[in-house]
Amino acid sequence: MEPILFNGLTIATDEGGYLKDAKQWSPDLAVKIAASLRIDLTEKHFQLIHWLREKYTEGVPLTIRKVANSGIVDIKQFYQLFPGGPLKNAARIAGIPKPVSCI
Amino acid sequence: MNDILEKKDEVIIPQLEQLEKKGRITKMMIICSKGTLENVYAALVLANGALMEGIQADMFFTFFGLQAITKAHADHLHTATVGNPAFMPGMPTILGGLPGFESFASFMMKKEMEKLDMPHVSEFVQMIDAAGGEIYACKLAADMFKLKKEDFLPEVKDIITVGDMYTLAEGEGTHFIFI
């Protein structure tokens, strides 16, 4: 996909719209990516985004079940916060690679 | 800079529209007629996987598949060790029939699944329900096995006829999977 031009930075994304370099992420960028997915970010979204980034840094493979055990949201809330594919959209907004989990 | 980013928005949205035109799957109806561990998990993974992709998914359990959504058996399903040549290839069939062998094999399989963070059947059903997937039992099979609404897991929405199931599947872009 075409790179995102944001605050003077050129941010490369892969064909699925995931950032190629998670370090280029910023909360402001998250708001913009979320807007393109028609999601308005709230405090709850950000709590989860930071948690996802933390787990990604630790090298933990992400699953819906792990998110549900994060203590931040349950499965129902997760689907409500990130409609249309929660794990993928949350990963896009959090600036981390596409989750490869089947569960 | 925001103007340039807005352009990216325009890039994303037409692509999504193109997907719709290509006949994107919008709904899955997963029918599970088997009660063996691996078949039930296949059905659950397919339903949950669809929901994770933003695809609506409903499940219809029938015949032996009904066991998978009963309170009594959901978390005690077994894998077939007889009549399943892909299970430990080379193993003589007669071994698979020894008392306790099937339980042991099923226990080992569940242990491996746990390592992959796969939930138990009842938890998997809860996950699908929480994700908006609806779970139904087949009326004809429920009558045959003398199962009532209270015998099923609380997430089982209703006992319905095959006709009701087709009504649920109505709409463009619905795909069926039969297991």
Asked if residue B166 belongs to a domain, the reply is: yes
Contact B119/A103, CB-based, under 8 Å? yes
Specify the residue for token string 């925001």. B2
Instruction: Please state, in angstroms and rounded to a whole number, the distance separating the CA atoms of residues A19 and A96.
Output: 6
Share of chain B above pLDDT 70, in %: 87
Residue B149 has what DSSP assignment? G
Specify the 3-state DSSP secondary structure of B88: coil
Contact B117/A1, CB-based, under 8 Å? no
Asked if residue B117 belongs to a domain, the reply is: yes
Instruction: Please state, in angstroms and rounded to a whole number, the distance separating the CA atoms of residues B146 and B136.
Output: 16
**Domain span at residue B54?**
29-178
Contact A83/B54, CB-based, under 8 Å? yes
Asked if residue B18 belongs to a domain, the reply is: no
Give the gap in angstroms from C-alpha A55 to the nearest C-alpha of chain B: 15
Which CATH number is B173's domain given?
3.40.1260.10
DSSP bridge partners of B30 = B59, B177
pLDDT in tens, B57-106: 999 999 999 999 999 998 888 888 887 888 778 888 888 788 888 888 88
How would you classify the pairing of strands B156-160 and B134-138?
parallel
Q: Which residues of A are catalytic?
A: 102
Asked if residue B20 belongs to a domain, the reply is: no
Asked if residue B144 belongs to a domain, the reply is: yes
pTM for this model (two decimals):
0.84
pLDDT in tens, chain A (103 residues): 777 787 777 888 888 888 888 888 889 888 888 888 888 899 999 999 999 999 999 988 888 989 998 888 999 999 999 988 899 999 999 999 988 877 8
Asked if residue B15 belongs to a domain, the reply is: no
Q: Which residue of A has its CA nearest to B12?
A: A36
Give the number of domains in chain B.
1
Sign of CA dihedral B153, B62, A101, B102: positive
Cα of first residue to Cα of last residue in chain B, in angstroms, is 52
CB B37 within 8 A of CB A31: no
Asked if A83 reaches chain B (Cβ–Cβ under 8 Å), the answer is yes
Domains of chain A, residue spans: 4-94
Specify the residue for token string 């794990």. A87
Contact A88/B5, CB-based, under 8 Å? no
Asked if residue B47 belongs to a domain, the reply is: yes
State the ipTM, two decimals: 0.85
pLDDT in tens, B10-43: 445 444 445 445 667 889 999 999 999 989 999 9
| Structure tokens that stand for A95 in this block | 């600036």
DSSP of B52-73: HTT-EEEEEE-GGGGGGGBTTT
Asked if A95 reaches chain B (Cβ–Cβ under 8 Å), the answer is no
Asked if residue B8 belongs to a domain, the reply is: no
